[in-house]
Amino acid sequence: MIRTDKLVFEYIRRDEEGNVEGITRAVDDVNLDVKPGQFIAILGHNGSGKSTLAKHFNALLYPTEGHVFVDGMDTEDDSHLWDIRQEAGMIFQNPDNQIIGQVVEEDVGFGPENMGVPTKEIWDRVEESLKAVNMLSFRKSSPNHLSGGQKQRVSIAGVIAMHPKCIIMDEPTAMLDPNGRKDVIRAARALNDVEGITVILITHYMEEVIHADKVFVMDKGHIEMQGTPREIFSQVDRLKELRLGVPQVTLLAHELKKSGLPLPDGILTREEFVEELKKLKK
Amino acid sequence: MSIILDHVNYIYDEDTAMAHAALIDVNLEIPKGQFIGLIGHTGSGKSTLIQHMNGLVKPTSGNVYFEGKDINDPDFNKKELRAKVGLVFQYPEHQLFETDCFKDVCFGPKNLGLPQKEVELRAYEALKQVGFDDDYFYQSPFDLSGGQKRRVAIAGVLAMKPEVLILDEPTAGLDPKGREDILNLIASLHREMGITIILVSHSMDDVADYVQRIIVMNKGRVAFDNEPKEVFKHYKELEEIGLAAPQVTYVMQELSAAGFNVDPGATTLEEAKNEILKCFGI
Amino acid sequence: MLRDITLGQYYRTDSVIHRLDPRVKLATTFIFIISLFVVNNFVGYLLATLFLVMCIKLSNVPPKFIFRGMKTIFFLLLITMVFNLFLTPGRAIFTLWKISITYEGLFLAIKMAFRLILLISGSSIMTLTTTPNNLTDGLESLLKPLKIFHVPVHEISMMMSIALRFIPILLEETDKIMKAQMARCADFESGSLINRAKSLVPLLVPLFISAFRRALELAMAMEARCYRGGEGRTKMKPLIYQNRDRIAYAVVFGYFVLAIVVGRIIF
């Protein structure tokens, strides 16, 4: 679905007079291959280059070196620009700054309007998209009266209405409260499970990536670690070095193991943890 | 005796069709030197509550006392109050406006009418207290990373030498390491300078390890006000109002239910670890 | 709360007037205002008032909402009346020292007051019954002919509706920044004019930075959703004239003709 080939992105820093101060490599030699239908998580601390990477998947940024392919189309090929943006939808961090419409349903219709979808079909798409994120009852509301989590779900509906094959979510939960976070992640997982849409979730909340098929950890523009959540979370100390944490249960299991309890690495959930301890007790 | 709220009610948009109660009969006592966590989900009234404490919002009925004096008395000096009860808003870095960090931190003490020397001394001290590097003193705040900006913003309030420091979601939007750094900074302000701290959050996980007392707000009322251990015992009621106890609490509850001889009231990782180790005789 | 301020004060209810095409309402308002300046006798004003009362009745908007808008222009009304009353030369009714009230003055003052009241209540019916969105859509459609002169009609109306969406957000943000600076003992209320202007810097700088940040993010989000200007765009809610719109046009046309005949020619 999305493939990057030796992707490098550099930008030039300038001082106040416009003189070049230096060159920053925000993304450095990244090779990724995301298969259709996967749920991918990209982890990394603030400034690790994960957002810059994400903007390449939607042709909002272009590589300095290397290539990005979305569904086989090179993002640098201008003739495919709108196909790429339609196939790879994008959700941003700030829920307020990506809603254009003054009424929920009008915002969801914005994408299809831009694509030139006939009026009748726009209405069908709006309805099905709002249903998919469980926001249909708010269709006539003003976005200003919604909570952060609801606004993000409206944004997701706005992307689904464009019938994408892939959704890239750039820290969609960073500005939400715990309940909003749960709702948004639930919506993202439902899209992946039910509709089979490929999801790329960028986050620094560890609890959100437990169910991902594959996790990439970025640092200084590189991909530092990759693997299943279990493989990643079994390396607690390495994650800490990368300014990241692990879910509390994983950390507790890790600490217990260090103190001598023979627990396996990479325990992710409460149930697992209790099960493992029960086994030990016998 | 520091801050007392006595039967405080606050109604938004009184006399209009949109009137709704944001605070209902709130009675609280904030003694000197405590480290308090104020928890509630979005719209629970916690932000309105803290704005009552430094006189930014006036109660519809009821009184707020600071050191025995009613702060809404016409001849009460609000400026002095705001210096003593420092309030750091959510995303405080969005309020930075000066050309360099040092000048921005000077803003508060300057408004107090202090002599220039004293202003600069305080700004210097405050920036040191938040662990800000000398090299960045004269940089534009807009060139800093998110975590650094937030430190400058907190220093801007610290420079007024507050006795009480209220922080609204000081870790919002930061990555795990950034969150930990800010929380440790706040804990050290409490420990070393004896500042009363009120930490507003919607996450129990964030505050459980630090605070001595937790106040839970729900629909404008104080739902719980007790030591963390005691509050977390009500984890089922907390869930009903859309909050959750720290993950560790659930783990310990489940272990206890599964027949492990552990104290189900353990709330911090350290306590949980020791309880489980004890249970296995290590 | 600040986020509840809606520009144009839309009153949410259902009525014939609410359901009318915004173009009809824009055109009607325009014609109504012209009619107010065409007629110059009381029969004409009576007709205009009747027309207005009919519209208010049909709109289901409580009259007090319409008159609430009148409060803001009360002074303007008063000043116009006073000026007309005292400064129009003619046959004196009443003289006090050097100032006199004339028949002509009285007549003119009442006429001006009528005009202003009708004008304001007429346009507030439009804004009370039309969502800002609909209004921009209507404007875009009515201004379409200007495209020939390379006026970017779609872009202008897109800008208008985005502005309308962000006004409440920015107002709320202003409130927040203001409070945050007040928590740092900033003083926005006292001092000389120059000091007060200076005290706005800590408010305006963060506000502008935030507005720019929002604009950049919004532009990126729009691009990501395939926005590329008005070219090739379809509409979710296209404006299509219904029978009721045609009837409304006919009624308005009838009113206008009648107003000219009655208000200008016969009496």
| pLDDT at C227 > cutoff 60 | yes
Average pLDDT over residues B190-197: 93
Structure token pair of residue A189: 């997982």
- Asked whether the beta carbons of residue C228 and residue A114 sit closer than 8 angstroms, the reply is yes
Given A60, A85, A116, which is nearest C234 (Cβ)? A116
Q: In a 3-state reduction of DSSP, which class is residue A73? A: strand
Task: Choose among C217, C183, C187, C215: nearest CA to C201.
Answer: C187
φ, ψ of residue A165 in degrees (nearest 5): -95, -15
Pick B251's closest partner by Cβ from A260, A270, A280.
A270
Is residue A239 one of the residues assigned to a domain?
no
Closest chain B residue to C180 measured between Cα atoms? B89
CB-CB neighbours of C222 under 10 Å: 18
Q: How far is CA C151 from CA A249, B149, C133, C231, in A?
A: 61, 43, 20, 14
Rounded to a whole number of angstroms, the distance from the CA of B95 to the nearest CA of chain C is: 6
- Give the CATH number for residue A47: 3.40.50.300
More confident residue, A112 or C71: A112
Q: What does the block give as tokens for C223?
A: 């691009």
Per-residue burial over C123-132, b = 16 or more CB atoms within 10 Å of its CB, e = otherwise:
bbbbbbbbbb
Answer yes or no: is pLDDT of C3 > 60: no
Q: Choose among A48, C174, A17, C208: nearest CA to B142.
A: C208
Lowest mean pLDDT segment, chosen from A26-30, B109-113, C107-111: C107-111
Supply the pLDDT for residue A98. Answer: 93
Inside any domain, residue A276 = no
**φ, ψ for residue B15 (rounded to 5)?**
65, 5
Contact call for A82 and C237, based on CB within 8 A = no
Report the alpha-carbon distance of residue B209 to residue A248 in Å, rounded. Answer: 12
User: Which of B88, B95, B111 lies at the smallest CB-CB distance from C185?
Assistant: B111
As a whole number, mean pLDDT of residues B55-60 equals: 92
Main-chain phi, psi angles of C248, to 5 degrees = -60, -45
pLDDT score of B89: 94
Give the total number of structural domains in chain A: 1
Question: CA nearest A281 in B: which residue?
Answer: B280
Residue A245 lies in a domain: no
Q: Determine the average pLDDT of the residues in B267-275.
A: 87
Which of B13, B94, B107 has the CB atom closest to C184's CB atom? B107
Residue A257 lies in a domain: no
CB contact under 8 A, A281 and B260: yes
- Given phi > 0 = left and psi -120 to 50 = alpha, else beta, which region is B33? left
Residues of B in contact with A206 (CB under 8 A): 176
Residue C234 to residue A82, Cβ atoms within 8 A:
no
B59 and B9 Cβ atoms separated by less than 8 Å: yes
As a whole number, mean pLDDT of residues C117-139 equals: 86
Query: Among all residues of chain C, which has the CA nearest to that of A104?
Result: C165
Cβ B173 vs Cβ A174: under 8 Å: yes
Q: Does B269 touch chain C (CB under 8 A)?
A: no
Touching C (3+ Cβ pairs <8 A), the chains are A, B
**If we measure between CA atoms, which residue out of A135, A85, A72 comes closest to residue A114?**
A85
Cβ-in-10-Å burial (0-12, 13-18, 19+) of A221 comes to buried
Is residue C73 scored above 80 in pLDDT? no
What is the DSSP-derived secondary structure letter of residue A264?
P
Give the ipTM.
0.89
Q: Do residues C182 and B82 touch, judged by C-beta distance below 8 A?
A: yes
Specify the pLDDT at position C25: 93
Task: Give per-residue pLDDT as tens, B135-154.
Answer: 889 988 888 888 899 999 99
Alpha helices in chain A (DSSP H): 50-56, 81-87, 104-115, 119-132, 148-160, 178-190, 229-233, 236-241, 248-258, 270-281
How is residue B274 written in tokens?
Answer: 């020791």
Select the residue from C225, C228, C239 to test the A interface by mutation, using most A Cβ atoms within 10 A. Answer: C225
How many Cβ atoms from other residues are within 10 Å of residue B236's Cβ? Answer: 9
Q: How far apart, in whole angstroms, are the C-alpha atoms of residue B224 and residue C223?
A: 47
**Partner-chain contact A113 C234, CB within 8 Å:** yes
Token pair listed for C257: 């003709």
pLDDT band at residue B20 using 50, 70 and 90 as cut-offs: confident
- The C-alpha atoms of residue A74 and residue A62 are separated, in whole angstroms, by 10
Asked, for residue A131, whether it belongs to a domain, the answer is yes
Mean of per-residue pLDDT scores for chain B: 90
Contact partners of A by the rule of 3+ C-beta pairs under 8 A?
A: B, C
The ranges of chain A with pLDDT < 70 are: 16
The answer to whether the CB atoms of C182 and B108 lie below 8 A apart is no
pLDDT for residue C5: 42
Q: What is the pLDDT confidence band of residue C198, given thresholds at 50, 70 and 90?
A: confident
**CA nearest A256 in B: which residue?**
B273
**pTM (two decimals):** 0.87
The A residues from 146 to 175 touching C (CB cutoff 8 Å) are: 158-159, 162
- Count of all residues that appear for chain B in the document: 282
Contact at CB, B51 and C179, closer than 8 angstroms: yes
> With 70 as the cut, is the pLDDT of residue C1 above it?
no
Tokens standing for residue B102: 């040092």
For residue A36, the enclosing domain spans: 1-226
Q: Mutation target for C interface from A90, A144, A155: give the one with most C CBs within 10 A.
A: A144
B55: closest CA of chain C, how far (Å): 9
Q: Per the domain annotation, does A47 fall within a domain?
A: yes
Q: CB contact, 8 Å: C168 with chain A? A: yes
**Does the pLDDT of residue B225 top 90, yes or no?**
yes
Query: Does residue A50 belong to any structural domain of this protein?
Result: yes
User: Does residue B194 surpass a pLDDT of 80?
Assistant: yes
pLDDT value at C2 more than 60: no
Ranked by mean pLDDT, the top range of A53-62, C94-103, C186-195 is A53-62
- Pick the range with the lowest mean pLDDT from B166-180, C39-53, C82-96: C82-96
In the chain, the amino acid numbered A219 is: D
Which among A46, A251, A277 is the nearest to B269, CB-wise? A251
Residue A6 has a CB neighbour count (10 Å cut-off) of 12
CB contact under 8 A, B175 and A280: no
Buried b / exposed e along A261-281 (16+ C-beta atoms within 10 A): bebeebbbebebbbebbeeee
Which among B43, B175, B246 is the nearest to A248, CB-wise? B246
Any domain includes A258: no
Chain B interface test: which of C169, C185, C199 (most B C-beta within 10 Å): C185
Rounded to 5°, the CA angle A98-A100-A101 comes to: 135
| CA–CA distance, B151 with A82 (Å, rounded to integer) | 42
- pLDDT tier at B116, thresholds 50, 70, 90: very high
